[in-house]
């Protein structure tokens, strides 16, 4: 994520900021050029401090879950991110609201990243081949699960409950379980359909790296949950679950590709660099370039590995779990390179 500033007093703003904590001006995100705009809160209309152009907030601003902007004359009520919502939980149930807000924060960060990658995000509400999100509060149908099917990404609202999510993480013996992780994984399935399956040449290259996805998916998952991951899975996969089926290997690798790109982009905009003592000469790194502008994914990895080690070390000094508890081996880097090249980076 890039760094944002108030257009009035230049105080730093978070991506989710609704106002500047220094001067009180309202703030909102314009996705067309990934800029944060600010407005004098006393005015009748939202007139941007920098440009003097009139805007309106997405309708979900009224719920405090979105700060994205539309130009005043735009006929849409919802921003490009909220237009992808097909189902939201019943907000008359007050327990649902904070969970939905957490989901929206994660989803908006996902959409920011997909837009920066230049990926098309048509709404399934208008395009059968498009994408949409169902945020489901209760499992009235026990067969409904978090997942992806034909462009519909379903996230059970309980995933936004930090206590329940941690219980599930421990039950599943997972080192990492977050809302942004779920969303990045599930959207990977959608883009497999759009970017891989639709091109025979790319599909063949995929099978050479990830395996043949035509093997029975249900049986593969049954085998995985019964037997677990194979020995030495770390040598070729980013996670245990990635071993279950080529589709899941793709989705897990895709999610971690997005993790890495976001981590290195943030490091770049903060000007971070690692220059440890002589004991760790190989851990020197400088996030000198925006990773979205780099063709060589290996350069991104050379920045990411020392960065994640440093951040994990800081967390451990505070008694907090690792931010990125994964080992990236060369076979995994090769798979991520495939994704990077596929996206034309």
- Find out whether 284 and 272 touch, Cβ atoms under 8 Å: no
**What is the pLDDT, as a whole number, of residue 43?**
66
DSSP letter string over 270-289? TT-EE---GGGGGG-EE--S
212 HSE (CA, 13 A, CB side): 3
Number of neighbours of residue 270 by Cβ within 10 angstroms: 12
Report if pTM > 0.85.
Answer: yes
Could you identify the residue written with the tokens 């050029």? 33
pLDDT tens digits for 52-75? 889 999 999 999 999 999 999 999
- Identify the residue with better confidence: 163 or 77: 77
**What is the pLDDT, as a whole number, of residue 218?**
94
**What is the pLDDT, as a whole number, of residue 169?**
72
Number of neighbours of residue 182 by Cβ within 10 angstroms: 22
Give the pair of three-digit tokens for residue 173: 């013996």
Give the mean model confidence (pLDDT) for residues 231-248: 95
| Residues in CB range of 256: below 8 A, 6 or more apart | 238, 239, 326, 328, 332, 336
**What is the pLDDT, as a whole number, of residue 275?**
77
d(CA 288, CA 257): 19
pLDDT at residue 345 is higher than 70: no
pLDDT at residue 164 is higher than 70: yes
């Amino acid at each position: 994520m890039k760094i944002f500033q108030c257009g009035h007093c230049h105080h730093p703003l978070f991506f989710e900021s609704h106002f500047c904590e220094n001067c009180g001006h309202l703030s909102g995100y314009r996705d067309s050029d990934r800029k944060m705009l600010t407005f004098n809160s006393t005015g009748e209309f939202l007139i941007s401090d920098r440009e003097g152009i009139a805007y309106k907030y997405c309708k979900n601003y009224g719920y405090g879950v979105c700060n994205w902007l539309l130009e005043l004359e735009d006929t849409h009520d919802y921003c490009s991110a909220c237009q992808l919502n097909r189902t939201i939980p019943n907000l008359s149930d007050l327990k649902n609201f904070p969970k939905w807000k957490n989901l929206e924060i994660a989803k908006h960060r996902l959409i920011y990243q997909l837009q920066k990658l230049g990926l098309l995000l048509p709404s399934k509400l208008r395009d059968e081949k498009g994408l949409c999100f169902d945020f489901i509060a209760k499992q009235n149908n026990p067969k409904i699960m978090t997942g992806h099917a034909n462009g519909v990404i379903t996230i059970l609202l309980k995933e936004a409950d930090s206590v329940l999510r941690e219980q599930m993480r421990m039950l599943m013996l997972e080192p990492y379980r977050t809302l942004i992780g779920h969303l990045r994984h599930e959207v990977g399935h959608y883009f497999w359909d759009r970017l891989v399956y639709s091109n025979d040449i790319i599909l063949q290259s995929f099978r050479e790296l990830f395996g043949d996805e035509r093997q029975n998916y249900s049986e593969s998952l049954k085998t995985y949950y019964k037997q677990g991951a194979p020995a030495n899975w770390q040598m070729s996969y980013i996670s245990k679950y990635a071993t279950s089926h080529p589709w899941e290997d793709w989705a897990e690798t895709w999610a971690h590709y997005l993790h890495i790109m976001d981590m290195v982009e943030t490091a770049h905009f903060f000007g971070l660099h690692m220059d440890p003592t002589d004991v760790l000469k190989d851990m020197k790194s400088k996030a000198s370039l925006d990773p979205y502008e780099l063709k060589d994914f290996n350069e991104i990895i050379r920045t990411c590995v020392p960065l994640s080690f440093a951040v994990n070390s800081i967390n451990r000094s505070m008694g907090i779990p690792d931010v990125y508890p994964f080992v990236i081996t060369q076979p995994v880097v090769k798979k991520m390179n495939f994704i990077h090249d596929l996206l034309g980076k």
